[in-house]
Structure 1
Amino acid sequence: MKYTHLGRSGLQVSRLCLGTMNFGPKTGEEDSHRIMDEAREAGINFFDTANVYGWDNKGLTEEIVGRWFAQGGGRREATVIATKLYGSMGPGPNDTYLSALNIRQALDASLRRLQTDHIDLYQFHHIDRNTPWDEIWQAMETAVAQGKVIYNGSSNFAGWNIAEAQENARRRSFNGLISEQSIYNLVNRAVEREVIPAAQKYGLGLIPWSPLQGGLLGGILKAQDDGGRRAEGRVQDLLAKHREQIQAYEDLAAELEIEPGILALAWLLHQPAVSAPITGPRTAGQLDDALAALDIELDAETLEKLDAIFPGHKPAPEDYAW
């Protein structure tokens, strides 16, 4: 396994992050524990979850991870656990967002579910436009002082959100954010305009989610030709929009003799500012595929071919201005 510092911090994380969103809703607890064991054996030390995961049973995913930690054997000590808050966890007016009250309540609830005394990376799942950063950082300063949180990260922030958060933290002599978790893949490269430049400026590691764009980059056309499951919903709409690109992409993957999903992850691992793409396996086999991406070296010619199929963005404002 390869490791890297998460942003400007001294924290070292594996180049792949195990996403747990499927644990509970799509993957049973026994299989989820097996996947976590296999990830640990492969050297993945970075797990990502959120308090809302479990969907119809919010909190279930954290509970599954917590029961895995409770098995002992150094599981908790060897894991950098990241979770998130923002989404509604109850019917009350203060059960959502980033008020100091909800931060305190949501943090303590996540600690109970995860059966741990601290969160290594506590992430804001979305920007809260109605809570001032002074309030957010004061609450996090308290959590850090109590030993309940070590690092903070953001998720789904715009570039200017990152700048606002970091400048406010700097005025308070607080560490602020060390990571940003954004959607980023060959199809969706919007973060290259402002989010990645902001992350690089302020020393944040990028944690891409949806590296396969919901399966669009996982060999969807070949699977359909082989009689596999047809695309549905949003993925079906995206496939209709990008079908020619996806066909060219799968043809290139075949030429390179690399599975499309592995190629998509490998491409992310070659991008600046990316610390660890999130892989969210439903099965152990999907985890094995993700691990294979770590051994793929893409040369300049291949990267140029991928850019030709899926054109990216320059940093703003050069991307759209003279």
Structure 2
Amino acid sequence: MRYRLFGNTGVWVSQISLGTMTFGDALDPLHSGLGALDQQGVDRMVDRALDVGINFIDTADSYGKGRSEELLGRALRRRRDDVVLATKVHSRTGPGPNDAGWSRLHVTRALEASLRRLKTDHIDLYQLHNFDNLTPFEEVLWALDDAVQQGKIRYFGSATLAAWQITKGLGASALHDLHRLISVQAHYSLVRLDVERDLGPMAQSEKLALTVWSPLAGGFLTGGFLTGRFNWDGPLNCPARRSGRAGFHPVKPEPGFKVVEMLRTVATRHDASIPQVAIAWLLARPTVTSVVIDARTMDQLDDSIAASGVTLTEQDLADLDAVSAQPPAHPNRLQQMYAAR
């Protein structure tokens, strides 16, 4: 396993990190169907990940209505110090009016609940899971800064925030002399390049770590749709279709299939699987710190881990870049056009 610096913190994390959306009973509709690993399955998966050198695990208080954190906490009871442990706050955790968002009230309660479920006295990376347009950024920054001062969290970061929202938070931290966001988590894959417009360049400029979720676009980049194992327009028991119905993985089939065909070509060159090449492409991007993988089986986990050993050539990268290329949006297009003039 290779390791990369986590932004500007001096902390080293594995370039493959373990996601936990498949941990638990998947009781909530948003994550239903993504997996339902019980304690035994979680223990095996966590032990396997740590044994091969993964030291970064990502969860959230909303996954499985808290069950993901509970199962992960039990699995880590003897190996807590071996991992950089990340979880998230913002999503609804109960029926009450204050059971979601960025208020100091909710963040403080949610943090204490996550600490109990994870059976730990601190969280290494506490991430804002979405944007709250009702709560001033300063409100949540003060609450998170207090948690750092108290030793309950080491760092805090963001997930599913736009570049302008993150920079607004960074500005507020600088203005009020508070600890700052140190990371960005975003959806990024060969068929979803939105990160490259603003988030990626912003993260590089501000020296923020960038972690990637859904590197296989909800299963689309496994190649299963071309082999007939999955039908993109068909049964809802396909993992990608399930999450796709929630709006997670919108993919245009025709250009997407061309990407998968090129992945297959490159995979043949390296005697690798299509998912391994899709992950290896992300690991070759200069902005990416770590790729979060979620697995339902040990075979899926092992296949994704093996991507860390795939080194793509310049020709491989050029072929994949060409087939996945999208026209730049404004004003990026004009900036690129006149950059050399």
Q: TM-score, normalised by structure 2?
A: 0.87
Q: Gaps (5+ residues) in structure 1?
A: none
Question: What is the aligned partner in structure 2 of residue 137 from structure 1?
Answer: 141
Query: Which residue number in structure 1 is paired with residue 194 of structure 2?
Result: 190
Amino acid at match of 2:42: S
**Secondary structure of 1:154 counterpart:** strand
Instruction: State the SS of the aligned residue for 2:190.
Output: coil
SS at match of 2:112: helix
Residue number in structure 1 paired with 2:30: none
Match of 2:253 in 1: 240
Equivalence for 2:29 = none
Amino acid at match of 2:135: T
2:68 to 61, 64, 69: 61
CA–CA distance in 2 between the matches of 1:136 and 1:213?
A: 31
The amino acid of 1:100's aligned partner reads R
- Aligned residue number for residue 301 of structure 1: 315
Q: Secondary structure at the match of 2:170?
A: helix
Matched residue type, 1:311: A
* Structure 1 residues 248 and 295: CA distance shift in structure 2, 3 A: closer
Change (3 A) 1:123 1:315: farther
1:286 is matched with which residue? Answer: 300
- TM-fit CA distance, 1:257: 2.8
Q: Tell whether the 8 Å contact from 2:159 to 2:184 is kept in structure 1 after alignment.
A: yes
Which residue identity lines up with residue 260 of structure 1 in the other structure? I
Conserved? CA contact 2:4–2:289, under 8 Å: yes
Q: CA deviation at 1:10?
A: 1.4
What is the aligned partner in structure 2 of residue 34 from structure 1? 44
Q: Offset of 1:169 from its aligned partner? A: 0.8
Q: Distance in 2 between matches of 1:3 and 1:176?
A: 23
Q: 1:272 aligned to 2:286? A: yes
* CA distances 1:165-223 after superposition (whole Å, capped 9, x unpaired): 11111112223111100000100001101001111111111100000001111122354
Instruction: Check if 1:155 corresponds to 2:123.
Output: no
Q: What percentage of aligned pairs have identical amino acids? A: 39
1:122 aligned residue (123, 126, 130):
126
Separation in 2, partners of 1:255, 1:49: 35
Give the whole-Å Cα distance in 2 for the aligned partners of 1:223 and 1:30. 32
Q: Are positions 1:76 and 2:80 aligned together? A: yes
- SS in structure 2 at match of 1:9: coil
AA aligned to 2:324 is: F
1:21 aligns with 2:25: no
Partner of 1:219: 223
Q: Which moved more, 1:274-283 or 1:229-238?
A: 229-238
Q: CA deviation at 1:154?
A: 0.2
- TM-score for the superposition, normalised by structure 1: 0.92
Instruction: Name the CA distance, whole Å, in 2 between partners of 1:314 and 1:304.
Output: 17
Q: Following the alignment from structure 2 to structure 1, what is the Cα–Cα distance between the partners of residues 259 and 72?
A: 38
Pick aligned residue for 2:171 from 138, 142, 167: 167
> Which deviates further from its counterpart, 284-293 or 207-216?
284-293
Out of 305, 310, 319, the position equivalent to 2:333 is 319
CA contact (8 A) 2:187 2:213 kept: yes
DSSP 3-state at the match of 1:151: strand
